[in-house]
Amino acid sequence: MDIDLVDQDFYWRNGAPYDQLAWLRANAPVYAHPGDAERDWPGFWAVTKHADVVQVSRRSDLFSSSRKLALFNEMPEDQMALQRMMMLNQDPPDHTRRRSLVNRGFTPRMMGTLEQHIRDICHELVDEAKGRGSVDFVRDIAAPLPLYVICELLGAPVEDRDKIFNWSNQMIGAEDPDYAADPDEGTNAAAEVYAYANTLAAERRAQPRQDIVTKLIMPDAAGETLTEEEFDLFVLLLVVAGNETTRNAASGGMLAFFENPEQWRRLVADRTLARTAADEIVRWVAPVNLFRRTATTDTTIGEQEIKADDKVVIFYSSANRDEDVFADPGTFDIGRDPNPHIGFGGGGAHFCLGNHLAKLELRVLFEVLAERLPGLEQTGPARRLRSNFINGIKDLPVSVA
C-alpha cells in the first residue's frame, strides 16, 4: 500500500487516511515514513497503535515536545525559541511550573459552574437558527459556542468573538486557501492575539474580576505568576485549542450523526446518551490528528529501535480506531462505554487542560440539539479543512425547519 500520512490534499478531500492507518497498525505500527525535500520535512516514525501513542505521550523524558516543538512542520531555531515559551512546546520541569499556574483557572469545579451558561448559549444559537431555517452548522452553531465560552473565560466582550474566530482560522488554516491567501496572515493574527492579551491583562490589573485572566496575572500562594510573554502565549493557545478542538468535534460529530441516522434517533429518544456521545464524538472525530515528539536518547517504541533526535509523530486518528482497544472501532456508537479514547491526548504532561470543558460543551450542545432540533437535516456537502494537523470541517449546510 502507498503510504502518505501527511498529504494535506488527501485530508482536504477525504478526511484522515483511515485505510492507510489500519494497514500500518496491522503491518508496521511504528513506520519509517519517508520525508519530502520539496515539502521541507525529514523522514519520521509514524506511531499508529494506541498503546504506543500512550507510551510516547507519557514519557516526556524520552520523547520531547521542546527540542523540535510539538507541531509537525520544521521551524528555524529563532522561531522555536519563542514557541518554547508555550506550554504545548515544553517538557517538565518548565511545563510542570506553567501547568500548575494555569490549572488555577481550569479546575473541574470551575468548569462545572459554566454549565448553565453553556446551556443558555446553546438555546440562543438554536433560537437564531430556527429563525433563519437554513444555516451553516459550523459558522452558526459549532463555532460560536466555544467562542462565547472563551469570551466568558477571558472576561472579554461577546462582540469580540468574530475577531477571535478569524484569528484562529488564520493561524490554523495557513495551508487552506479559504483562510490564508497570504503566508504572513497567520503570523499577523498571532501578533494581534498578543496585543489583545496585553490589553486584557492591563485591564484586569487595573480592575480585577472573577475570571481566568485575573487568576493568571495575580501571584499564586507561593508568589509565582506568569510573565507577560507567558500570558500572551497562554491566550494564544486558548484561542486556538479552546476554539478549534470543540468547534471541529461538534461539526464532525454532527456529520457523524448525519452519516449514522440511527444514532441520531437514539439520542433524540434518550438525551441522557449525550454524556457517552461526547466521548464517542471525540474518539470518532479526533479533532487533533497528530503531534510531533523528538527522541531524547536511543530507545524503543514497541519492538522498533529509535535513535536519539529521531522525529516521532503520534497519530490520534489511528490510535482511536485501534482494534486491540475498541470493539468494532469503525462503528460510531454513542453508547460506547467504556471508551478509552485518547482524543484529549494519551496522558502524561500534555493531557488536554480543557478536556472537562470540551466534554461539557459537547454534551450540552447535543442535548439541546436533540431536544430542540430533532429533525435537523444536512442540505449540502461538508467541506473539510486543508490540514493534516486539525481534522476540521469548514462548512456543513443544514436545515432546521
pLDDT digits (tens, 9 = 90+) for 26-80: 999 999 999 988 878 899 999 999 999 999 999 999 999 999 999 999 999 988 9
Full set of structural domains in the chain with CATH: 52-306+331-399 (1.10.630.10)
Of the candidate ranges 192-196, 227-231, 280-284, the one whose mean pLDDT is the lowest = 227-231
* Cα–Cα dist 71/67, whole Å: 11
Structure confidence at residue 237 as a pLDDT band (50, 70, 90): confident
Structure confidence at residue 269 as a pLDDT band (50, 70, 90): very high
Structure confidence at residue 183 as a pLDDT band (50, 70, 90): low
Which of the 8 DSSP states describes residue 155?
A: T
3-state secondary structure of 386: coil
Task: Inform me whether the pLDDT recorded for 378 exceeds 90.
Answer: yes
Residue 171 CA: distances (Å) to CA of 75, 201, 239, 362, 366: 15, 22, 10, 23, 28
Structure confidence at residue 320 as a pLDDT band (50, 70, 90): very high
* pLDDT value at residue 311: 98
Q: Which residue has the higher pLDDT, 97 or 383?
A: 383
- Could you tell me which residues come within 8 angstroms of residue 24 by beta carbon, excluding any fewer than 6 positions away? 3, 31, 46, 48, 318
Q: Record the cell numbers describing residue 48, joined without a space.
A: 499508529
* pLDDT value at residue 186: 77
Task: Inform me whether the pLDDT recorded for 110 exceeds 60.
Answer: yes
Mean pLDDT computed over every residue of the chain = 92
Task: Inform me whether the pLDDT recorded for 284 exceeds 80.
Answer: yes
- 180: enclosing H helix or E strand: none
* pLDDT value at residue 180: 60
Percent of the chain with pLDDT over 70: 99
pLDDT by residue (tens digit) across 117-171?
999 999 999 999 999 999 999 999 999 999 988 888 888 888 888 888 888 878 8
Helical axes 115-132 vs 144-154, angle rounded to 10°: 140
Residue carrying the nine cell digits 459552574? 113
pLDDT by residue (tens digit) across 80-105?
988 898 889 999 999 998 888 888 77
Across-strand partners of 377? Answer: 399
pLDDT by residue (tens digit) across 243-262?
888 999 999 999 999 999 99
What length does the chain have?
401
Tell me if 340 sits within 8 A of 282, measured CB to CB.
no
* pLDDT value at residue 108: 72
Average pLDDT over residues 11-20: 97
Listed residue (337, 332, 334, 331) closest to 274, CA to CA: 334
Backbone dihedral angles phi then psi of residue 230, each to the nearest 5 degrees = -65, -40
Please measure the distance between the N-terminal and C-terminal CA atoms of the chain and give it in whole angstroms. 45
Listed residue (389, 398, 386, 377) closest to 175, CA to CA: 386
Task: Inform me whether the pLDDT recorded for 297 exceeds 80.
Answer: yes
* pLDDT value at residue 181: 56
Average pLDDT over residues 233-242: 84
